[in-house]
Amino acid sequence: MKNINHIVILTIILFLFSCKSEKTTGVVEKVKKQKVKVVTPKFNSDSAYHYVKKQVDFGPRVISTRSWAKCALWLEKKLLDYTPNVIVQEANTTTYDQKSHVLKNIVASFNLEKKNRIALFAHWDSRHIADHDTINQSDPILGANDGGSGVGVLIELARQFNIKEPKIGVDIILFDAEDYGQPENSRYPYMEDSWCLGSQHWSKNTHTPYYTAKYGILLDMVAGKNATFYLEGYSTMFASSILQKVWKTGHNLGFGRHFIFEESPKITDDHFYVNTIAKIPTIDIIEYDPNTKNGFNKYWHTHRDDMNNIDKNTLNAVGQTLIDIIYKE
């Protein structure tokens, strides 16, 4: 009888232990299934605005000019504040007006050991003429929005990467000579592919051999007040899944009035050459206004492209969207 009691007691203990073990296992499995919430940094639009203004303070950043050279040096030094991995890629080039130049693409890399990489692009030069203005058309423009804004956002991202590293590798690539394209009323013979000279060179000669990235995002004119970004044609053609991902993220963050789920025409911009030559699926976040004749803002390629048109709310919408994308990869 005593042995039977022992057996009964032992059976009860084993049963209770088994139940507890199953419960514990269930809790562990439940915890495993729960997604870990990623806390992303807060984009600082004041800082980005400062970086835009700093570029504009140099004056027009037209290739081979003194203000262009000073700005190039500042960009290199500023990026070196946030990463030691900065490369200035120089290359000989000839513009449509038959002038020879040495262009400078500036590349800043983060987490070099990571094979999974994202490329972020912008052009840092400004238009050499005000061909869409009514006065002083032969003079260069400041290019606060068209040139300065994308760079300002990317430098602020570099600052954030230095504070908190993303899990993936990121390369910030600033293209030169994007805006030295041939105007419609040019007296020179037509030159094919006269725009985006820096991105054309980089796409054929990436800063490191055999460079590739999971995808790329180009920023162009991303600071105008109430700016709207449509689903640009080449972005849809070459990188539709990335385009949808970025636009949905923007909407989820409350920036739906900027990220419009409507298509816009194909725009020849730096991303075209990154897609077709470097074969990196790349989208273009670029302001589009269907109510203007040129499809851009009213001050595009005029002397009115100055700091008066730079809006911190738009900078924040673009910058915070990119932060959310990058830190959740």
CA–CA dist 141, 67 (Å, integer): 12
In what helix (H) or strand (E) does residue 87 lie, and over which residues does it extend? strand 86-94
CATH architecture group of domain 41-327: 3-Layer(aba) Sandwich (3.40)
In sequence order, the β-bridge partners of residue 232 are 264
Q: SS3 letters for 52-81? A: HHHHHHCCCCCCCCHHHHHHHHHHHHHHHC
Burial of 206 (0-12, 13-18, 19+ CB in 10 A): buried
Max Cα separation, the chain?
114
pLDDT at residue number 176: 99
**What token pair was written down for 92?**
């000989």
CA–CA dist 124, 179 (Å, integer): 9
Least Cα distance to 259 among 233, 286, 219, 221 occurs for 286
CA–CA dist 28, 88 (Å, integer): 50
pLDDT at residue number 27: 47
Provide the residue type at 323 as one letter: I
pLDDT at residue number 34: 60
**What token pair was written down for 325?**
């994308």
pLDDT at residue number 37: 80
pLDDT at residue number 38: 81
pTM: 0.90
Tens-digit pLDDT string for the chain (329 aa): 444 455 444 454 444 545 554 444 444 455 445 667 888 999 999 999 999 999 999 999 999 999 999 999 999 999 999 999 999 999 999 999 999 999 999 999 999 999 999 999 999 999 999 999 999 999 999 999 999 999 999 999 999 999 999 999 999 999 999 999 999 999 999 999 999 999 999 999 999 999 999 999 999 999 999 999 999 999 999 999 999 999 999 999 999 999 999 999 999 999 999 999 999 999 999 999 999 999 999 999 999 999 999 999 999 999 999 999 999 99
Neighbours of 152 (CB within 10 A): 30
